[in-house]
């Protein structure tokens, strides 16, 4: 369905968010028991950068039908590549050498977030 029939592709692109974020794709390079030793420090770090507003989102990614994650994805806010690398390097999984990462700049253009907040019982749902 074309909801903007009078707009050219350039017009549509000009209206988009263009929010620059950074993708950290992280993979284990050490045995699972060595990775596990860093898990608490890693989670503490992830929660800290979440609370500081640096992390946009994070979690494991697996192939369809698989339960074992193929890699981890961390989406962060940073002003430039150097800052993004400092943030990724500071993750205990990376600083300890049990995981390596690739860094990509990402332009968030389209999407939708739905949040339902019920005041009566102070519950919320994130979709």
Give the pLDDT confidence of 10-53 residue by residue, as tens digits: 998 899 899 999 999 999 999 999 999 999 999 999 999 999 99
Residue 50 falls inside a structural domain: yes
Locus of tokens 């596990």: 36
Residue 120 lies in a domain: no
Query: Tens of pLDDT along 48-101?
Result: 999 999 999 999 999 999 999 999 999 999 999 999 999 999 999 999 999 999
Mention every residue, 6+ apart, whose C-beta is less than 8 A from residue 111.
17
Query: Which residues are CB-contacts of 99 (< 8 A; sequence separation ≥ 6)?
Result: 26, 27, 28, 29, 30, 35, 38, 72, 91, 93
**Is residue 5 included in any domain, yes or no?**
no
In a domain, 118, yes or no: no
Which token pair is 77? 């806010």
What pLDDT score was predicted for residue 3? Answer: 75
pLDDT digits (tens, 9 = 90+) for 106-119: 999 999 989 998 88
> Of 121 and 31, which is predicted with more confidence?
31
Total tally of structural domains belonging to the chain: 1
On whether residue 4 sits in a domain, the answer given is: no
Does residue 11 lie within any of the structural domains? Answer: no
Structural domain including 99 reads: 26-109
Taking the whole predicted model, whether its pTM rises above 0.75 is answered as yes
Question: What is d(CA 74, CA 125) in angstroms, rounded to the nearest whole number?
Answer: 22
pLDDT at 67: 93
């Amino acid at each position: 369905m074309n909801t903007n029939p009078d707009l050219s592709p350039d017009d549509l692109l000009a209206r988009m968010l263009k929010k620059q974020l950074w993708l950290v794709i992280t993979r284990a390079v050490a045995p699972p028991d060595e990775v596990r030793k860093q898990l608490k420090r890693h989670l503490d770090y992830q929660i800290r950068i979440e609370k500081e507003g640096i992390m946009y989102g994070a979690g494991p990614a697996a192939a369809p039908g698989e339960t074992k994650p193929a890699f981890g994805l961390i989406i962060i806010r940073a002003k430039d590549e150097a800052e993004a690398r400092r943030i990724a390097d500071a993750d205990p999984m990376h600083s300890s050498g049990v995981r390596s990462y690739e860094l990509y700049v990402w332009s968030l253009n389209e999407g939708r977030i739905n949040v339902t907040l019920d005041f009566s019982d102070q519950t919320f749902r994130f979709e």
